[in-house]
Every structure is written in structure tokens, then in C-alpha cells.
């Protein structure tokens, strides 16, 4: 299954991209706007737990594996997307050793920022994936570092975001999902080449205005997540 298929069909999903826009009737055609938050807002990841099926996939041959997660988040302000792990990649800080039979659980205390505080336009689109890694950490680090560079390169994810900012249309949900997929695909390609797996996708949408209280904790099909608001 591809990243896009996982994000579309098998993900723990909170919110809807349509919540990020305001649609108003116009004289000729519908007017679509990206509302702004009155104050800076951001998100932290406090805990991510996976308790289903992963051990059958990942521990087929090994008693112990290394697991890590990546996240990419963006709004419609035109600021660069925010990607974790940060650059330069630090294996000791980012890779978690897991043993067969354990529940995968990332506990991050007060939380690791997955989107820094800023005045939001539209709101935050957040994509998280958990991955298995082998011992080729140098190549993994190079790919993650390149992902940071590719976010803002010519023809990049950032250019797609800017295009959506200027020309929002009727397929906002598809466009935002496509942007998240494009950001994560290079890593998926590398890991699949090495015979590794990715699992437990999450995507959440947090509108610029209004409460997020009901969207900071969620569970679905053996995957649960706990986020915190920065404000």
C-alpha cells in the first residue's frame, strides 16, 4: 500500500480540510477565503501509541527493530512547512528500539512541537507516519535531510502550497492530502527499497479559529494520539 493509500484509507483522521476555509457566495462565483487566527497557535505531539498488528509485519525476521516517526505540518500563510525529525538527523534522539511483543509508544512529556506557534492562515494540516528502520542510518539521515531541502526547492511542496493559497478550489481535501503525500513520499520510497515498512498514519486538520479541545486526543483501529495546543 502506498503512502497516499494509507493516508486516504487507513489513517487515524481528525477533522476535515474543508474546515480550514470559508466559502461565501459571490456576484459571479463562490469566494473562498483562508481565515486567520487572532493570536499565534501551534501544536505539540505528547504521545502516539500503536497496539495492533504491527509486530506481525515488522518482527517477521528480527526480535528487535528501530522505529521512528516523521511529521509534516503546514498552514496557508506561505511560511515553510514544518518537518520532523529536524535537520540534521540525529539517530540517537530520533530512533526508538522496540522488542517483539511490545506496544509501540512514543511518550514525549510536555510534547515535541510538530508546528510552532504562529498566526495561522486557514489552519494546520498535520501528517504523521511511523516507520521501521534498518541499520543503514547514514542513508536514512541523508534522505531526511534532503526532505527538508526538497520542501522549499523549485517545483517543491512549498510551491504547491502557494498555488493552493492563491487558487483554492472545490477539491481542497484532495489537494491538501496530495501535498502531505508528496512531502512524505521520498522517505517511503527509500524504506520500501530496503524492505522496511511504514504504518500508523495520522492526519489532522486544525482550523485557525475556534477550539481544538475535541481534536487533541483520538483513537482508531489500535492507534491513539495525544496532542497539545501551543498558544
Which of 66, 77, 222, 70 lies closest to 161 in space, CA to CA?
77
Entry pTM: 0.87
pLDDT band at residue 134 using 50, 70 and 90 as cut-offs: low
Q: Please give the average per-residue pLDDT across 53-58, as a whole number.
A: 52
Q: Which helix (H) or strand (E) holds 12?
A: strand 12-14
pLDDT in tens, 18-48: 999 998 887 677 788 999 999 999 999 999 8
pLDDT band at residue 206 using 50, 70 and 90 as cut-offs: very high
Q: Please give the average per-residue pLDDT across 151-179, as a whole number.
A: 84
**pLDDT at residue 220 above 60?**
yes
Q: Please give the average per-residue pLDDT across 131-153, as a whole number.
A: 75
Within its chain, how far is the Cα of 85 from the centroid? 11
Between these two residues, 54 and 152, which has the higher pLDDT value? 152
Residue 13, beta-bridge partner list: 203
Amino acid at each position: 500500500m502506498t503512502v497516499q493509500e494509507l493516508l486516504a484509507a487507513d489513517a487515524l483522521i481528525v477533522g476535515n480540510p474543508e474546515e480550514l476555509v470559508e466559502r461565501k457566495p459571490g456576484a459571479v462565483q463562490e469566494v473562498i477565503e483562508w481565515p486567520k487566527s487572532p493570536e499565534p497557535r501551534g501544536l505539540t505531539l505528547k504521545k502516539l501509541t500503536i497496539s495492533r498488528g504491527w509486530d506481525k509485519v515488522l518482527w517477521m525476521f528480527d526480535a528487535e527493530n528501530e522505529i521512528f516517526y516523521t511529521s509534516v505540518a503546514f498552514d496557508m500563510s506561505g511560511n515553510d512547512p514544518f518537518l520532523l525529525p529536524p535537520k540534521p538527523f540525529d539517530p540517537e534522539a530520533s530512533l526508538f528500539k522496540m522488542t517483539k511483543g511490545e506496544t509501540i509508544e512514543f511518550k514525549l512529556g510536555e510534547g515535541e512541537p510538530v508546528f510552532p506557534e504562529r498566526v495561522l492562515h486557514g489552519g494546520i494540516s498535520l501528517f504523521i507516519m511511523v516507520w521501521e528502520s534498518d541499520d543503514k542510518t547514514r542513508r536514512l539521515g541523508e534522505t531526511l535531510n534532503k526532505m527538508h531541502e526538497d520542501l522549499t526547492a523549485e517545483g517543491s511542496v512549498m510551491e504547491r502550497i502557494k498555488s493552493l493559497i492563491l487558487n483554492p478550489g472545490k477539491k481542497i481535501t484532495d489537494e491538501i492530502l496530495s501535498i502531505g503525500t508528496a512531502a512524505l513520499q521520498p522517505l517511503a520510497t527509500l524504506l520500501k527499497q530496503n524492505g522496511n515498512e511504514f504504518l500508523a498514519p495520522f492526519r489532522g486538520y486544525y482550523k485557525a479559529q475556534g477550539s481544538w479541545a475535541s481534536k487533541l486526543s483520538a483513537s482508531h483501529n489500535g492507534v491513539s494520539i495525544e496532542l497539545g495546543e501551543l498558544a
